Amino acid sequence: MSRATDDAPAATAKSSEQKKEAATDIKGAGRESLIGKSVTINRPRAELFAYWRDFTQLPSFMDNVERVDIIAAERSHWVVKAPAGKTVEWDAVITEEIDGELIAWASVEGADVPNSGRIEFRDAGERGTIVTATIAYDPPAGFIGKIVAKMFQREPAIQARRDLRRFKQLMETGEVATAARTSQQFAEEKN
């Protein structure tokens, strides 16, 4: 009986040669930054793929994504939070799609943050599905912009890890755990 491995995505390798090899399938992979994250989710692959493929649902677990507008079946417009209360926007097109297995995309010319990547869904036997996100992007203002984004917790590598964790929570429990409280809840606790 073979088991799917949960090895970290090759894009996270320390060797630059391994990173280059991992990037060969990503359009625009020559970008400045390449990240990869994986998570195992105890849900069927088809269910996870269908939820993710409806891009308008992504803000339900992607903290920095304000909204995704569907322009056409293969094209969408993204509005994403950036440091200092700003937002960045871009249009993205699907460059490859294998139903139930893979969604690959690339931003179109003129994007505030040029990016591309892929989300892969692989069976993990009785444990559910391994979801792997690999993203290549050019941070605004280069290295300095990347540092600023990290300081404000808006850097894509940080967000990818958190977003996958929230996706897992949402798909396995039906909600995303949060410590946030409404002002009404806070007032009720004080009384």
Which has the closest alpha carbon to 116: 91, 81, 99, 140? 91
pLDDT tens for the chain, 191 residues: list them.
444 455 555 544 545 554 455 444 555 545 456 889 999 999 999 999 999 999 999 999 998 899 999 999 999 999 988 877 889 899 999 999 999 999 999 999 999 888 999 999 999 999 999 999 998 887 665 544 444 444 444 556 678 888 999 999 999 999 998 776 666 665 555 44
Can you name the residues that pair with 116 across neighbouring β-strands? 106, 136
User: Which structure tokens are listed for 98?
Assistant: 């294998």
Domain boundaries, the chain: 10-190
* Maximum Cα–Cα distance across the chain: 60
90 has which bridge partners? Answer: 78
Beta carbons of 66 and 72 less than 8 angstroms apart: no
The pTM for the full model equals 0.75
Identify the CA nearest to 135 among candidates 158, 112, 168. 158
CATH code that applies to domain 10-190: 3.30.530.20
